[in-house]
Amino acid sequence: MTHPEPAQQTPSPKPPRPPRPPNIDEVAVAAVQRALGAEHAAVWCYSLAVAFLGPEQRAAARTDADAHRELRSQIARTLSDIGSQPVSAQPAYATPEPVTSAATAAKLLVVAETDALAAWRSVMERTADRTLRKAALDALTSTAVRCARWRGVVGADPAVPQLPGAPETAR
C-alpha cells in the first residue's frame, strides 16, 4: 500500500485590497489619519479625566469615551479598507495643564473635543468623496454636542462655538 504524499502547504493569498475610491486622495487620507490621531488622544484624555470627575460627570464622560472608541475603530477599519496603515495611539499625551481636579479634568475634555472638531472639519475640507464627507459631518456634529456639554461644565461662553472646528483666527 502506498501512502499519498502530504499536500504541500501553500500560503493562502491575501485578498486584494479594494481600490481606493477616486475622491479619497493622499490629502484626504492624511486628514483622516489626523482625525484618527485626535480620536486616539480623546480616548486617552477621557481615561485620565474620569479619575477626577464627580459621579454625575463620570457617567457622561464614559459615554463620550465610548463614542470616541467606536469612531476610532470605524476610522481604523476605513483606513485599512483603502489600503492605508492606521496611525497608532501614543502611549501618553501632553495636557495643557496638570489634571488635578474635576475642573481641570473638564477643561481637558474641552481641549480634546475641540481638537477633534478641528480634525473632522479638516477631513470635510480635504475630500470630495460624499461618503467620507458625510461621515466627517456626522463626527463633527456629535463632537460639537460633546464639546458644548463640556464647555458648559467649565462655564465657557458661548457653550457652542460659532464655527465648530474652525481655527481661532477664522472666528
Are the C-beta atoms of 108 and 115 separated by less than 8 Å? Answer: no
Is pLDDT at 22 greater than 60 in this prediction? Answer: no
Are the C-beta atoms of 74 and 83 separated by less than 8 Å? Answer: no
What domain range is 127 assigned to? 26-160
| Tens-digit pLDDT profile for residues 69-106 | 999 999 999 999 889 999 999 999 999 999 999 999 99
The full 3-state SS of 89-139, as one line of letters, equals CCCCCCCCCCCCCHHHHHHHHHHHHHHHHHHHHHHHHCCCCHHHHHHHHHH
Are the C-beta atoms of 28 and 126 separated by less than 8 Å? Answer: yes
Domain count, the chain: 1
pTM score of the predicted model: 0.82
| CATH code, domain carrying 137 | 1.20.1260.10
Structure-block grid coordinates of residue 64: 463620550
Q: Specify if 7 maps to a domain.
A: no
